[in-house]
Chains A and B, each alone.
Chain A
Amino acid sequence: MDFNDETVFEKEVVLNILKEVTEETLHDQTYNQGKVGQWISDICEKSTKKLVALGKPFKYVVTCVIMQKNGAGMHTCSSCFWDNANDGSASYKSPQDWPLNVVTTCFALAI
């Protein structure tokens, strides 16, 4: 595998993309059963498009969990079997003052 700048996973850039897309789609929204499916599609698809536009040789997996704020607790965790040097992940969590709990995660795997 060639090691050059292109194959490096840039966590801040990816995190920024996830943050922008999540905030753009969900700012000021409260949980709506009818719309939640559409929101998730939008967030995942827009994130994927922006990530691909970075032009890096990666495959991407973007997941998004949206939960109504109800006082209930939620934990998410991921375990990956990959090449630590080239692959990476970034996860964006919605701020505490939002009426929704959102976690958007991106996994990037080098080709």
Chain B
Amino acid sequence: SFFPAMSTDEKTYMIRPQFHKKFKPMQVKEIIQKCLDDKLTGQKYHVDKASKFTRELADAIKQELKELHWDRYKYIVQVVIGEQRGEGVKMGSRCFWDEDTDNQAFATFSNDSLFATAVAYGVYLY
């Protein structure tokens, strides 16, 4: 793979990403939505499958983010899949980071049988 390993001993003195290589929430949102739609359209909730889907989705989204080649970004992808039974559910997050360089994007998918939310955070390494 030609993606350079993140070397933390090299001092690049770049404390900000270049503009065209900044985490772009809208672009990441589209990626996440596409991954969710591709994987879950037409699927029904089933205990074992759901467990497998969460893992596969998290890895797939992370892989897509790596392929954007935004330098020095660390990624966190969290996926929640639940059965659709009319229950109430809420998810939120708070972050302590650098607002200029770090950002997040999320997307949801739902059908009669299940709901899924995926959120991706991009954090820049100084």
Binary interface profile of B, 1-45, with partner A (CB < 8 Å = 1, else 0)?
Answer: 000001011000000000000000000000000000000000001
A-B contacts, CB under 8 A, total:
150
In the complex, what's the smallest C-beta–C-beta distance from B78 to chain A, in angstroms? 4
Residues of chain B with a CB closer than 8 A to A31's CB: 87-88
**CB <8 Å contact, B121 and A74:** no
Residues of chain B with a CB closer than 8 A to A69's CB: 87
B contacts with A: majority SS:
mixed
How many residues in A have their beta carbons less than 8 Å from beta carbons of B? 45
CA distance A105 to B126 in the complex (A): 24
CA distance A48 to B94 in the complex (A): 7
Interface of B toward A, CB cutoff 8 Å: 6, 8-9, 45, 47, 50-51, 53-55, 57-59, 61-62, 65-66, 74-98, 102, 104, 119, 121, 123, 125-126
